[in-house]
Chain A
Amino acid sequence: MNLLSIFNKRTSAPVARDRLQILLAHERSYSGQSDLVTALREEILAVIAKHVNVDRDKVLVKMDRGDAVSTLEVDIEIPTPTKPKLAASA
């Protein structure tokens, strides 16, 4: 046990308070919109599918709810179009 770990141990309650404040702020503001992420994903996918083929199983949605901002990360794998011929690209 070092000094840092003693310090950390003393401060677990403020960590708990901060985590709860962030979580509850999000839960209160989004109550009634539980499917917001699903709706966003569908609409984003629809826009992209207009232009390229998208495999719906190759879509990853990640969320990170922060204090000031949250990030929504939508990772869509777009298949590479048929490879251009070497002669053409040269």
Chain B
Amino acid sequence: MAKVLVVTSGKGGVGKTTSTAALGAALAQNGSNVVVIDFDVGLRNLDLVMGAERRVVYDLINVVQGDAKLAQALIRDKRLENLSLLPASQTRDKDALTEDGVARVIEELREKFDWIICDSPAGIERGATLAMRHADMAVVVTNPEVSSVRDSDRIIGLLDSKTARAESGERMPKHLLLTRYDQGRAERGEMLKVDDVLEILSIPLLGIIPESEEVLRASNVGSPVTINSPTSAPARAYAEAARRLAGEDIAVTVPSEKKGFFGKLFGRRAAA
């Protein structure tokens, strides 16, 4: 049965779009049919991170308003044929996204895909509430940093009150994805630890994505990190998170980069 997943955070810049692309690609790499939808009307970026920016013709608003059929607006990924993108509109007014229209599009996507991943805009305004509205589950992307944790707490409150699921009295499953984590700094007491964040937000942990150069490198070239550099630490962390989403029970670890002799030497020295 199709699952609608919202990737949200409240705060901007914590890695929602990067995580949407990486989780979507990882689920597709495991054989699922996946569509990722950009809900950030006017400031779309999922197309750029996925490397499809030159191929956008129609967008979510065109489909909602009936200017284009869903099949015409979906952009098939060039690397994974079971991964598709539905872009946001860059120029239209965001009020063109209606709740009924979004509901219709999601229902139609449920027929065709196993996973429908909604990339939420930052903030708690209309775009963010529409992205979470029809979700069956949520991934809350959080950095180990005070303002991000606070905003995540706010978003968790909205997930439990403003979604269709919450309004019908059902539980909304929420998972924490901790991104840009630096184990060395956390061990030295310079950064919130995983347990600190988990204790404050009290939602289950989906994964810990280590801070890594590979993430920027992947967005530079327009390829999800799980495709661009599948053996890198963040890619392995995203791949494991995707397997947990699909129901596998795997212990959460912080994958680390494979270091050479000098890397190990300096890595240890820095952590001491």
User: Which residues of A come within 8 Å of B, CB atoms?
Assistant: 9, 12-13, 15-16, 19, 22-23, 27, 31, 34-35, 37-38, 57, 59-66
Contact = CB atoms under 8 A, between A and B. Distances in A.
B52 to A, nearest CB: 11
Contacts of B55: 62-65
A9 B222 contact: no
A63 B57 contact: yes
A7 B244 CA distance: 34
Contacts, number: 51
Given A59-B72, A60-B72, A63-B56, A19 B48 contact: yes
Interface string B16-56: 00000000000000000000000000000000100101111
Given A16-B219, A16-B221, A19-B48, A38 B67 contact: yes
15 contacts: A12-B217, A15-B221, A16-B221, A19-B51, A23-B53, A23-B54, A34-B89, A34-B92, A37-B58, A38-B67, A61-B72, A63-B54, A63-B55, A63-B57, A65-B53
Given A38-B67, A60-B72, A12 B58 contact: no
Contacts of A65: 53-55
B57 A61 contact: yes
B62 interface: yes
A73 B229 CA distance: 32
B213 to A, nearest CB: 9
B53 A37 contact: no
A23 B48 contact: yes
A15 B219 CA distance: 10
Contacts of A38: 58, 62, 67-68
Contacts of B221: 12, 15-16
A64 B90 contact: no
A12 B213 CA distance: 11
A34 B57 CA distance: 10
B91 interface: yes
B54 A16 contact: no
B69 interface: yes
A9 to B, nearest CB: 6
Contacts of B89: 34
B224 to A, nearest CB: 14
Contacts of A12: 216-217, 220-221
Contacts of B67: 35, 38
Nearest to A13: B220
B235 to A, nearest CB: 14
Nearest to A23: B53
